[in-house]
Amino acid sequence: MYPTLIHIYGPISVHSYGAMIALGLIIFTLMALNDPRREKILSTDLFITLLIRGIIAAIVGGKVLFALTNWHLFDHPLEVIEFWHGGFSILGSILGIICVIPWYLKKYSIDKWQLLDLAALYAPLLQSIARIGCFFAGCCFGLPTTSFIGISIADEYGKICMRHPSQLYSSAILLFIFLFLYFVLQKRVRVPGVLALWYVVLVTTERFFVDFFREDHIIVPTPFLPFFSINQWIALIMCFTSVGLLLAGMKRKHYEPFQLH
């Protein structure tokens, strides 16, 4: 693993995880800005303003949900606001954006569904690149395995063992989700909001299945399904909520039914 790309001076370094997130954000921003639909939704200046606020909401949401689901990793509550340390939840970032950005869109009289569709189209690519940063940083790694696809990773005690490259699983699936949304689904969806809901369905499904291979799979005991983690339960709730909105919208004719040919 290569958690540090460049050591500058003292505690100041360029970390691989942060560098990959920055790269993903740059690509996301350039692709969204150059999308011809963006000019019809909002200006470039307003897009940048909302992007900055979205990044803040994503950071706060990701850190808060990680703290809530991994409270045992913190020695004191103030560590939650130490954003330079590891620990982050993608699901928390999505929830943070969902909770904050629609309020600003209403304030500026922007069609929230059209903008969320635009963001949802390129968000999986950003997430895919960020997961490569997880791989280089050595976080979010998988369970031990004897499979040929395992890779050698040192655990917290320095012991080398073969593990599932769960970060690369996520990166590959998220890249496929981006390609599916970009080249297939967006050409068949005509009603605002459908693409954004499909994005939530697909990325939460990805997290649900990949979580089975992650070492930080914190089980939440339940009578009927005692082997799901807390992140899987959150993913299921988000997924089924989005599926319900899709079905309800089609039933009420808020969304046009569509088929993949």
Tell me the pLDDT tens digit for each residue of 80-108: 555 555 567 788 888 888 888 888 888 88
Token code pair at residue 260: 């993949």
Location of structure tokens 């068949």: 188
pLDDT recorded at residue 155:
63
pTM listed for this prediction: 0.83
Please tell me whether residue 42 adopts helix, strand or coil conformation. Answer: coil
pLDDT recorded at residue 79:
60
User: Please, what is the Cα angle at 175 between 172 and 94, to 5 degrees?
Assistant: 105
pLDDT recorded at residue 163:
92
- 184 vs 260: CA distance, rounded Å: 8
Per-residue pLDDT of the chain (261 residues; tens, 9 = 90+): 666 777 676 666 677 888 898 999 999 999 999 999 999 999 999 999 999 999 999 888 888 887 777 766 666 665 655 555 556 778 888 888 888 888 888 888 888 889 999 999 999 999 999 999 888 887 778 898 988 889 988 766 667 889 999 999 999 999 999 999 999 999 888 888 999 999 999 999 999 999 999 987 777 666 666 778 888 998 999 999 999 999 887 765 544 444 443
Identify which of 249, 44, 2 has the alpha carbon closest to the alpha carbon of residue 139: 2
CA 36 to chain centre: 25
- 52 vs 35: CA distance, rounded Å: 19
Q: Helical H runs in 34-157?
A: 38-41, 44-69, 90-107, 112-137
Please provide residue 171's backbone torsions phi and psi, each rounded to the nearest 5 degrees.
-60, -45
Location of structure tokens 């000019």: 39
pLDDT recorded at residue 257:
44
- 127 vs 123: CA distance, rounded Å: 6
Q: Are 94 and 107 in contact (CB under 8 A)?
A: no
pLDDT recorded at residue 254:
45
